Structure 1
Amino acid sequence: MSQVERQELEEFRGFYRRYYEDDIAELAQRYPNEQRSLYVEYDDLYRFDAELAERYLNKPEDMREIAEEALRTYDLPADVSLGQAHVRLRGLPASNTIDIRNIRVVDDHIGSMVAVQGIVRKATDVRPKIVEAAFECQRCGTMTYIPQSDSGFQEPHECQGCERQGPFRINHDQSEFVDAQTIRVQESPEGLRGGETPQAIDVYLEDDVCGEVTPGDHVSVAGVLHIEQQTSGNEKTALFDLYMDGVTVTIEDEEFEDMDISDEDVAEILELADSPDIYEKMVDSVAPSIYGYEQEKLAIVLQLFGGVTKHLPDESRIRGDLHMLLIGDPGTGKSQLLSYTQNIAPRSVYTSGKGSSAAGLCVTGDTLVHTTDGIRRIEDIVTPDIPESVETETAVERALDLYTYDEATGETTVASTSHVWRMPPKPCRRIETASGTQLETSRNTPVLTCGDDGPEWTPISEVEAGDHVGTPNFDGIERSSPATDESAEDPDGAPAMTDGAVGSTDGADLEWDRVVTTVDTGEKELYDLTVPETNNFVANGVVTHNTAAAVRDDFGDGQQWTLEAGALVLADKGIAAIDELDKMAEDDRSAMHEALEQQSISISKAGINATLKSRCSLLGAANPKYGRFDQYEPIGEQIDLEPALISRFDLIFTVTDQPDPDHDAKLADHILTTNYAGELNTQQTEMTNSEVTRQQVEDVQEEVAPVVDAELLRKYVAYSKRNCFPRMTDAARDAIQEFYVDLRSKGADEDAPVPVTARKLEATVRLAEASARVRLADEVTADDAERVIEIVRSCLQDIGVDPETGEFDADVVETGTSKSQRDRIKNLKDLLREVDEEYEDEPGAPRDQVLERADEVGMDRSKVEDEIEKLKTKGDLYMPDGDHIKVV
């Protein structure tokens, strides 16, 4: 040890004696089972010796060794040893707290100690890592100890006893292991502006800091930055990846910790809150380029502010987050409303249900897989390891060499599987190609298709007749590059690929086969193979993507499973905007039930069991099944969502497109004005000889600009949610109670439907609290209650009324079947049984007699025919032949 190091060692001992004597005494009592680290605050070290603190930041690895040596040699009782204790520095200064996107080599960040803040996007499970391996010679039994580093596993060249080159065996009892985990930290949504792509960094953790965080946690991580050279295949490249060796991980409890609200901002917020027309200003600031929709925009404002989350003495929790759904005709601006909301919400995530991925991408049991031992049925591959049918997706480790498509080279190569899977039945789809090849998979399984820019992955549910799928060429015969028939063109004008043409990738042995038919085949049991790195295999001759139920680890060796936070988890304590909700995969939709009500998501896949937090508001948009909304049909029949999911939304708006000359004239004027403002701005900024002045641009843009600037509105919402927790006044409570009781009274008669449930009462309370938060008020007043009662009543009028009777009926949303429908079904079944008994010699109730009797008892003939078809689909009725009906 050098003179400088001995001096630094003594400095750390003096530092411990002055600031951390009690902490070290506590560590000595708890070490090693309860506590293994001494946490040191940077401010304490800086006060003790500013130069020493600065050296710690610049040379963290060297200084940490000295700090830990000082801890090990600290004056402790003879029977106490802190041999493997760590020193972890935290509370780094602002100059060393860096946004992930701003990490730069030129700023000397590499090798120094920095802190980053963000949200945990992925986390591997905690695994043992060997730090010193004990190798036992199989010939003479001599032990050789070799320290291990992250650069690769080191083995002895020869035995230190007999001086022979092995063989060696690792003695696990004599080796030294440490817990290890990798997490991926991504920039928090509140730190981004609309359109920015969040950056992320991988953090390697060891020992007692492992297993402390889960995906979705907002954290501050202090550690040492490093770089690692990238490789392409076995070749090294000139590019390097950034990663961090984590020293401390602190879970941030503060909401919107990245929102920087200055004193000037607070003064502006308070002045705005005192405005008598604050609600009008807020509404005018939401998507000003979209004309109208005042009530929907007011509801979005209330959703941004949210109600107050309550924690009760029995540890139960009442959510304050508001969920809202927009259902409506195409071209009405639903997606724009979602996008704008995502831009102004302090913490938000935007995604599309159509693009959401789900678990269980897999193939049917009769699928043939191309292995190095020949072509085998996937069922025969999997069932020896998993012989019985399963209720949940089940994986078993299994190595099998098979053919896979390498996207980097465009060639077929051999790879080994890591796991085999067996799945419960899922909805499936089958495609058939021009060459006669058939492939049947779960509907969300991607296959390799020929896109405009080359090979791309397309879910089989979106593959249509005329598309081309990738089929590897196994015969090794060289063929010419893509054959195209220029005389034949697809409908979109692109040259049509001929059947069996080779793909356009240079050096590829991939051909393209045209799809001729597609058909949905119902639910079937499924199987899958996990192929690390390429994530695909050749199924019935078609390149098929396989994604396991849990996310395959792309950290390091790829041999672990990771838990990844999805949109609802990333939006924790914010807003998740999900477009095309009706197109979301069935597995994802089922997970949303728990997310919307309990505000958590339970994961039990690939051996991982966890509960992730999703304390967010959901703003969803969906389209009616048949394109346009029909106000005379129940909502449950118009949207492809389960009633149990629809009922969890506090507000549901129907956004319709009805021709109206006055409204259309104002809408056209607004759209043209908005476009004109954009044209002037483009000309003024892009054209050097433009005659448009800046003043002209500002005059026109003033007409379509938001009243409250988006950046100020973000800060306003964050400030309100951080500081405002209003309570209900007696007047507000009485108004809400009267509204609810009055609605319920309409269902007091024995034959009347239940007009509304307690869920709507809780929604009204949340909305009223949000209304008070808009004003930064401490109390919810009667005016707040009346304001939100009007919104709730309007929504109920749109979607909570039975179109046949005109009465409020909660079951229209809660169960998808109104009371009038249930009564009609009951009467129809009674009629069918009655007619069936009269015609006991026939195979069922004659259809014509049923329809004739329906007219006699006052049942509408067309509605009876519709109900018969629906009940047949559900399996409640069947027809032995075309003329008779039987009740199951």
Structure 2
Amino acid sequence: MTTTNSEHTAENTELVEQFLELYRDYYREEMGTLAQHYPQEQQALNVDYHDIFRYDPDLADDYLAHPEQVRAHAEDALVRYDLPVDVKLGDARARVHNLPDDKTHFPGEFSPSDHDGVLRSIRGEIKKATDPYSQLEEAAFECQRCGTLTRIPQRNGHYQEPHECQSCERQGPFRINRDQSEFIDGQKLRIQTPPEYAQGEGQDIDVFVTGDLTNMVTAGDRATVTGIIKLEQQSQGNQDTAKFEPYVDGQHIAVEQTDAEDLDISAETREQIKALAGGEQGDPLELAAETLAPKIYGYDIPKRAIVLSLVGGAHVEYQDGDFDRGQVHILLIGDPSTGKSKLVDRAEGVGWRAVGVSGTGATVAGVTATAVQDDFGDGSWTLDAGAAVKAHRGVLAIDELDDMPPEVRAALLEPMSKQSIHITKGGINTHLQTRIAAIAAANPKHGRFDPYEPVAEQFAFDSALLSRFDLVYTFRDKPDEDEDDAVAHHVLTARDAAKRNGRDMDSLEDSADPQGPIEVETLRAWIALAKRQPDPVFADESVEESIRESWLSLRGLYDYDESEPVPVTFRSLEGIVRVAEAAARFELSETIEQRHVDIATELVGQSMQDIGRDEDGNLDADVKETGGSKAQKDRKKEVINTIQERQSEGDDGMAEIDAVVEELAEHYDRARVEKDIDSLLYEKGVATEPKTGHIRYIGGY
């Protein structure tokens, strides 16, 4: 049956009337707001797809299937809407969003051939974004022969000239009259499947947005882009090919404000988690620690610390713009084959918005972010998000931190402490948010801990980075008959049980279960729910007082004697509060109770025991803050002074090493003095050995 022009006109009029009625019934207030702020502050009406569906399911289906045609009628209705003020919404846009789940995909989850021309929502992470640029919306072509203007709409970023002049009917030449042409802001985005949902690298798709949608997101943001799926023919040189690449003509952007853990948690799961958080099956944090990495034997305190790091404390902002971070950074450093890297892997697997990084081959751009000049931006500068930006509001899991190049480790300081990265390059000047919890694993400087060398001297990186970690735990491989037997039994039974789980072996029901006491997905949902909790406050003054008194007792451990080391700094006080906040949130508590303070004190206390003591066993904050204890520094000063005194006494400007050692051995351990001399010669480079058995201090330490 042939459809006449009059029937088309009647159908179009009917569609416009439907949208007018929809706006009157559902968007009367929003239309008034648009009229008040149009066009400077607001240029579009955001229309919920579910409202269209409630109004008329057929109209909703038509919008999905024929978005460009139906949108034109929706925007025509905006122009015809009866407004109480003298405002014309001539260029206002109708932006449909909040599509059903079956019409919402990650990049690569749909067939481009089957979805060409339809409206869909694409969820993901913004991998790249160009600077906004001016894009022709309607070009006014001026015939250079007769001067006649011909107006040609420019669609989807493609440049189209007139075939011939409307006046002289010649085929040009033409030039663009910029004053008579219409321009609009445009931007190109690349959206990628988030790492926690991707299998491997993750697929991506390009998105083109215009007008008020430009500059809404930047690299590293999570967003849902609703738009029309289109196919663009690819070319090779000057030849068109049979290959068509999909892209999205963006119509709406919803920036995710609720982090990566916006999991849809069922009412049943919520009730289960509330029961677990309330202690129904035992200590909540112990349950989580056992579930985090059941295959790894022991390490209860580091496991509990990792769970709380995945949750995080409170990000506190002050009126002057300053802030206190809530993320808890953890470093696991130890001997090979002690399970530290496995725990970091588990943190990446269980945590939300977790991005893994290996120190080997890491680059500053790959770990942080950079401005790049490539084909994506047609040669212009674009932001390329690195791991820390992608992990914003999540976890940056770092393995082999000791193998990371020094310049990359130095670049970690800003995102860990300031929770942002400042990019100034290629005309781009911006801050990217990196509110991350860093959980890292590293080996000691010599690959294995030396029991005769102070812990502080066995780190392969400087104290500036070490001091950024709230909790540092050491993993030592010490032969012990009973402990070794327990570990071996655990490893073998867990491995065997994992193999048997896929078989029907009723007689082996009692074999060890490699799973934890609760399901991993339940733990992930628990963490997601905990991260959504309000920032907890002290339950009462007694809780706050207990933290203060506990910290002050450590602070005054040596009676504030200036000749003694400083036991703890204010960093440790902040660390205790952060961990206590995370413990409260994990129990879904809106207040920090004394038990949460006790948890924090235990976890921070164990970290101090592991790396916060000098070689004599005294608490010394300098071990972590500066990379050496006060006792070490005092001893090394004595070593240098003794060398310089003996140098000045001799005619050759050298000191005999054995004589220096003998003199200092009256007050210090001989082996430590010898190590100090070796350090001056071979590590610090501040002394030379002009001839065997002699040393000359040249300065610089």
Structure 1 length as normaliser, TM-score?
0.71
Q: What root-mean-square deviation, in Å, do the aligned CA atoms of Structure 1 and Structure 2 show?
A: 3.3
Counterpart position of 1:53: 60
Counterpart position of 1:791: 603
After superposition, where does 1:134-145 map in structure 2 within 5 Å? 134-138=140-144, 141-145=147-151
Match of 1:851 among 660, 668, 681: 660
Using the alignment, how far apart are the partners of 1:35 and 1:309 within structure 2? 31
Match of 1:807 among 618, 640, 643: 618
Higher relative CO (Cα under 8 Å, sequence separation at least 6) belongs to 1
Using the alignment, how far apart are the partners of 1:694 and 1:789 within structure 2? 45
Counterpart position of 2:382: 562
The answer to whether structure 1 residue 816 and structure 2 residue 627 are counterparts is yes
Using the alignment, how far apart are the partners of 2:119 and 2:238 within structure 1? 32
From the superposition, tell whether residues 154 and 773 of structure 1 become closer, same or farther in structure 2 (CA, over 3 Å): closer
Using the alignment, how far apart are the partners of 1:637 and 1:58 within structure 2? 66
Query: Conserved in 2, the CA contact under 8 Å of 1:549 and 1:606?
Result: no
From the superposition, tell whether residues 645 and 885 of structure 1 become closer, same or farther in structure 2 (CA, over 3 Å): closer
Using the alignment, how far apart are the partners of 1:749 and 1:311 within structure 2? 35
Amino acid at match of 1:263: A
Counterpart position of 1:316: 322
Counterpart position of 2:340: 334
Query: Conserved in 1, the CA contact under 8 Å of 2:640 and 2:697?
Result: no
Query: Conserved in 2, the CA contact under 8 Å of 1:854 and 1:860?
Result: no
Counterpart position of 1:64: 71
From the superposition, tell whether residues 23 and 664 of structure 1 become closer, same or farther in structure 2 (CA, over 3 Å): closer
Counterpart position of 1:750: 562
Q: Structure 1 residues 145-154 or 214-223, which shifts more?
A: 145-154
Shift of 1:196: 6.2
Match of 1:248 among 235, 243, 252: 252
Query: Conserved in 1, the CA contact under 8 Å of 2:456 and 2:611?
Result: no
Match of 2:552 among 741, 759, 774: 741
Counterpart position of 1:401: none
The Cα offsets for residues 709-766 of structure 1, whole Å up to 9 and x where unpaired, read as 1011111111222236433244433333233122211342121111111111111122
Shift of 1:213: 1.2
Counterpart position of 1:149: 155
Using the alignment, how far apart are the partners of 2:538 and 2:596 within structure 1? 10
Shift of 1:695: 2.3
The Cα offsets for residues 465-495 of structure 1, whole Å up to 9 and x where unpaired, read as xxxxxxxxxxxxxxxxxxxxxxxxxxxxxxx
Query: Conserved in 2, the CA contact under 8 Å of 1:829 and 1:887?
Result: no
Query: Conserved in 2, the CA contact under 8 Å of 1:635 and 1:813?
Result: no
From the superposition, tell whether residues 164 and 101 of structure 1 become closer, same or farther in structure 2 (CA, over 3 Å): closer
Counterpart position of 1:325: 331
Query: Conserved in 2, the CA contact under 8 Å of 1:296 and 1:653?
Result: yes
| Higher helix content, 1 or 2 | 2
Using the alignment, how far apart are the partners of 1:277 and 1:668 within structure 2? 27
Amino acid at match of 2:185: D
SS in 1 for 2:513: helix
From the superposition, tell whether residues 272 and 16 of structure 1 become closer, same or farther in structure 2 (CA, over 3 Å): closer
After superposition, where does 1:371-390 map in structure 2 within 5 Å? none
From the superposition, tell whether residues 25 and 714 of structure 1 become closer, same or farther in structure 2 (CA, over 3 Å): closer
Counterpart position of 2:4: none
From the superposition, tell whether residues 696 and 827 of structure 1 become closer, same or farther in structure 2 (CA, over 3 Å): same
Counterpart position of 1:216: 220
Match of 2:276 among 272, 293, 296: 272
Counterpart position of 1:531: none
Using the alignment, how far apart are the partners of 2:52 and 2:665 within structure 1? 93
The Cα offsets for residues 140-161 of structure 1, whole Å up to 9 and x where unpaired, read as 5444433323474333455556
Match of 1:722 among 508, 511, 532: 532
Query: Conserved in 1, the CA contact under 8 Å of 2:226 and 2:250?
Result: yes
Shift of 1:614: 1.6
Shift of 1:304: 2.5
Query: Conserved in 2, the CA contact under 8 Å of 1:219 and 1:251?
Result: yes
| Higher strand content, 1 or 2 | 1
Using the alignment, how far apart are the partners of 1:619 and 1:162 within structure 2? 72
Using the alignment, how far apart are the partners of 1:815 and 1:732 within structure 2? 31
Query: Conserved in 2, the CA contact under 8 Å of 1:183 and 1:203?
Result: yes
Counterpart position of 1:551: 372
Shift of 1:328: 0.9
Match of 1:643 among 452, 457, 463: 463
Match of 2:41 among 34, 37, 40: 34
The answer to whether structure 1 residue 709 and structure 2 residue 497 are counterparts is no
The answer to whether structure 1 residue 768 and structure 2 residue 588 are counterparts is no
Using the alignment, how far apart are the partners of 1:643 and 1:351 within structure 2? 21
Using the alignment, how far apart are the partners of 2:246 and 2:624 within structure 1? 50
From the superposition, tell whether residues 19 and 631 of structure 1 become closer, same or farther in structure 2 (CA, over 3 Å): same
Ranges in structure 2 where 5+ consecutive residues have no aligned partner:
1-7
Query: Conserved in 2, the CA contact under 8 Å of 1:306 and 1:769?
Result: yes
Counterpart position of 2:190: 184
Match of 1:3 among 5, 10, 32: 10
The Cα offsets for residues 263-302 of structure 1, whole Å up to 9 and x where unpaired, read as 1112221222232333332222121111121222122222
SS in 2 for 1:752: coil
Counterpart position of 2:289: 283
Counterpart position of 1:607: 427
Using the alignment, how far apart are the partners of 1:549 and 1:266 within structure 2? 40
From the superposition, tell whether residues 31 and 725 of structure 1 become closer, same or farther in structure 2 (CA, over 3 Å): closer
Amino acid at match of 2:192: Q
The answer to whether structure 1 residue 582 and structure 2 residue 402 are counterparts is yes
From the superposition, tell whether residues 773 and 45 of structure 1 become closer, same or farther in structure 2 (CA, over 3 Å): closer
Counterpart position of 2:481: 661
From the superposition, tell whether residues 850 and 81 of structure 1 become closer, same or farther in structure 2 (CA, over 3 Å): farther
From the superposition, tell whether residues 849 and 357 of structure 1 become closer, same or farther in structure 2 (CA, over 3 Å): closer
The answer to whether structure 1 residue 132 and structure 2 residue 138 are counterparts is yes
Amino acid at match of 1:104: S
- How many residue pairs were aligned? 685
The Cα offsets for residues 25-79 of structure 1, whole Å up to 9 and x where unpaired, read as 5434433332222223334434444433332222110011122223234456997
From the superposition, tell whether residues 761 and 856 of structure 1 become closer, same or farther in structure 2 (CA, over 3 Å): closer
